[in-house]
Structure 1
Amino acid sequence: MSQNQKPIITVLTAPDEDAPPGIEAVKARGEVRFAWDEATLREALPGSQVMMVTDFRTEALEAAWPVADKLEWIHATSAGVDALMFPALIDSDVAVTNARGIFDRSIAEYVLCTMLMFAKDFPRSMRLQAGHKWKHRDTERAEGREVLIVGAGSIGRQIARLARGIGMNPHGIARRARNDDDDFIAVHANEQLFDQLAVADYVVIAAPLTPQTEGLFDQKAFAAMKESARLINIGRGPIVNTTDLIAALNKGQIAGAALDVFEEEPLPQDHPLWEMGNVILTPHMSGDFIGWRRALTDQFLENFDRWHQGEELFNNVDKKLGYAGS
């Protein structure tokens, strides 16, 4: 487009969400319109060339899609884009980018923390402290433990890097095997998942939600894991069948789980996971470091400048696969 022509940018937010920090810098580059439901999207989208999505209300966007007459690019301010992948968008020429890279290190630190918490029995120590109980125990060493990272993309690679840094042995699962990734001991193809589950001490889900990964961790997967293994999910909740996970934990098929994402969010107050002593729960916050909202806007602006100059965007999502390439 002409550099003298001001582009129109629609920002899709939640109804109760403040404008993204740094939005003034976006307004300096174009006309910014805000939307938060189908009605406001139908008002904002006509003429818009760019969308910045901070709230993933797929039904509203899909319903308003017919009025998106000039849209060229949608940027999702998250690593996962599963909520955006409705058929009309997938089949369109509209480019989709994501926030890959913003949360990678923070999520990796979270995963390392949970593995060490399990190894050093911190959940029990905190319960004992709350009860003013002095109870000495021996704990595990993390060094030498086998870590299987399901999803060997940019987040998985950061997890592997930190795990390897303390002497753990990280293996990855990806669409294709590869032997040239220095962060992993090895990266195995999807077909090798169950073989690798049988030897892993920690299984970390860092995969995107796709039709292939939805419900991947079910009764069969838990039965393949070691009884001493722990599951950590920082990917997407529906990758794990929660009913099967609870059954596996209760039967001792696996030793514990750390969950940051769930099939149903927020997790209901009466959900059985809350009461399980071998489960660590956090409310979908593994990547959210202080200042992350401004970092997302800055990343969008960097890509926006590339788009405005006619340059290639970074973090392009393969819409049919549902994620950006690794």
Structure 2
Amino acid sequence: MKVLCLWHATKDEISKIREALPRGTEIVAPEGDYFSRFESTYQQLEPHARDADAFIGWALPRGLLEIADKLKLLSWLHSGCDDLANIGAFSLFKQRGVKVANIRGGNAIAVAEQAMMFVLALAKKTIFKHQVVAQDGRRLFPLFADEYRSAMLNGRTIGVIGVGSIGSEIAKRAKGFNMRVLGVRRNKDRPVEHVDSMHGVDELHSVLAKCDYVVLATPNTKEAFQFFGKAEIAAMKPSAFLINIARGNLVQEKPLYEALTSGRLRGYASDAWQRYEFGRAFPISFLPRLEVHKLPNVVCSNDQAANADDVLEGYLQWGIENLVDFATEKPLRREVNLDLGY
């Protein structure tokens, strides 16, 4: 069996993979200079890809799959698989019988913590109050004015849209703030601890109407693409906050901008931003065209939720477990459903 690491793996990382797999497994990785060690070029990988039985990594150069005639497994070191869908990989995998396993849940705690940071930052006007003190040291006056007063989490309702590995961790943390948790997911009959009531996708609007905070944690599938728009925002309380911890393309930018600038929505936070992919976007853009991220009632980061202690080590460990499952002919514990995309 031959395993190709799609990144510039360190000696220690290669040793961990080798030690976990059956004796005689060949582990190869690209060598030479790099700009980012988590990426590599087609030219660097092409000699190894042609006879590799398994790939493991974060980035897949275009054209590599087409020459990987022996490939039987991709251990994808991401939770989301939308990048694979965007390059048409799923169709090729189905044709060739290639299995895909991801590391879903590997970043769940880090992303859930980021989600709660966003909830608190919006509720407590963290950035605004920091800037007031840092810039001129003034004290906000009058006390308890609407524009200065923080929101509370205690006793409030939070809606988690997409209660998977990340959503369930968000629910757990929300309970620590004595919040009521409502969940929305495809399979509402599957109970999740810390969720007070679970609802189907057809109940989304009725759930939104009850929430003081709404967190989007859904996979980025073709059904979810830009599903949150004018009607969904209209269903929310004007006093509510929206937090997107999943993918930027879940939310329609124009109605979001209009709601944030008109007072229809109290605030927005996101770790991910729109990538316009209607064929070739014109003009090309990877941030909001309406500059939502610059609004005063917006808190943001840019794909940093998983950039935390312990996450890289967890990714590698779970990715190696995928390889072990494959090598020992066990069911893949994190196999991706190629029809659903996650």
Shorter-chain TM-score category?
A: 0.7 to 0.9
Quote the Cα distance in structure 2 between the aligned partners of 1:322 and 1:221.
24
Quote the Cα distance in structure 1 between the aligned partners of 2:60 and 2:27.
22
- Aligned pairs for 1:77-88 within 5 A: 77-85=77-85, 86=88, 87-88=91-92
Residues 1:84 and 1:150: Cα distance change in structure 2 (over 3 Å): same
- Aligned pairs for 1:279-298 within 5 A: 279-298=298-317
CA drift of 1:90 comes to 4.2
Quote the Cα distance in structure 2 between the aligned partners of 1:318 and 1:222.
31
- Paired residue for 2:9? 19
- Aligned pairs for 1:31-180 within 5 A: 31-34=27-30, 36-57=40-61, 60=62, 63-85=63-85, 86=88, 87-131=91-135, 132-135=137-140, 136-137=143-144, 138-178=149-189, 180=191
Q: Which amino acid aligns with 2:202?
A: E
CA drift of 1:227 comes to 0.7
Q: Which amino acid aligns with 1:230?
A: F
- Say yes or no: does 1:273 pair with 2:292: yes
Does the aligned pair in 2 maintain the 1:179–1:186 contact within 8 Å?
no
Quote the Cα distance in structure 2 between the aligned partners of 1:268 and 1:262.
6
Q: Which amino acid aligns with 1:128?
A: V
Q: Which amino acid aligns with 1:83?
A: D
Residues 1:237 and 1:23: Cα distance change in structure 2 (over 3 Å): farther
Q: Which amino acid aligns with 1:203?
A: V
Quote the Cα distance in structure 1 between the aligned partners of 2:315 and 2:259.
37
SS in structure 1 of the partner of residue 29 of structure 2? strand
- Paired residue for 1:3? none
Please list the CA deviations of residues 188-245 of structure 1 after superposition, one character each: whole Å capped at 9, or x if unmatched.
1111111111221111111111010001112222122111111111111111122321
CA drift of 1:127 comes to 1.9
Count of paired positions: 309
After superposition, the CA RMSD in angstroms is 2.3
Percent identity between the two aligned chains:
25
Quote the Cα distance in structure 2 between the aligned partners of 1:179 and 1:263.
31
CA drift of 1:52 comes to 0.9
Does the aligned pair in 1 maintain the 2:28–2:48 contact within 8 Å?
no
CA drift of 1:56 comes to 5.0
- 2:230 corresponds to which of 219, 222, 231: 219
CA drift of 1:256 comes to 0.6
Unmatched 5+ stretches in structure 2: 31-38, 277-284
SS in structure 1 of the partner of residue 50 of structure 2? coil
Residues 1:118 and 1:66: Cα distance change in structure 2 (over 3 Å): closer
Q: Which amino acid aligns with 1:238?
A: N
Residues 1:271 and 1:157: Cα distance change in structure 2 (over 3 Å): same
Residues 1:145 and 1:54: Cα distance change in structure 2 (over 3 Å): same
SS in structure 1 of the partner of residue 151 of structure 2? coil
CA drift of 1:27 comes to 4.8
Quote the Cα distance in structure 2 between the aligned partners of 1:161 and 1:269.
31
Q: Which amino acid aligns with 1:204?
A: V
Quote the Cα distance in structure 1 between the aligned partners of 2:296 and 2:92.
45
- 2:220 corresponds to which of 199, 209, 212: 209
Residues 1:242 and 1:134: Cα distance change in structure 2 (over 3 Å): same
SS in structure 1 of the partner of residue 188 of structure 2? coil
CA drift of 1:113 comes to 1.7
Please list the CA deviations of residues 20-40 of structure 1 after superposition, one character each: whole Å capped at 9, or x if unmatched.
672332255522133723444
- Paired residue for 2:322? 303
SS in structure 2 of the partner of residue 148 of structure 1? strand
Does the aligned pair in 1 maintain the 2:104–2:165 contact within 8 Å?
yes
Residues 1:211 and 1:249: Cα distance change in structure 2 (over 3 Å): same
Unmatched 5+ stretches in structure 1: 1-6
- Say yes or no: does 1:229 pair with 2:240: yes
Residues 1:56 and 1:279: Cα distance change in structure 2 (over 3 Å): farther
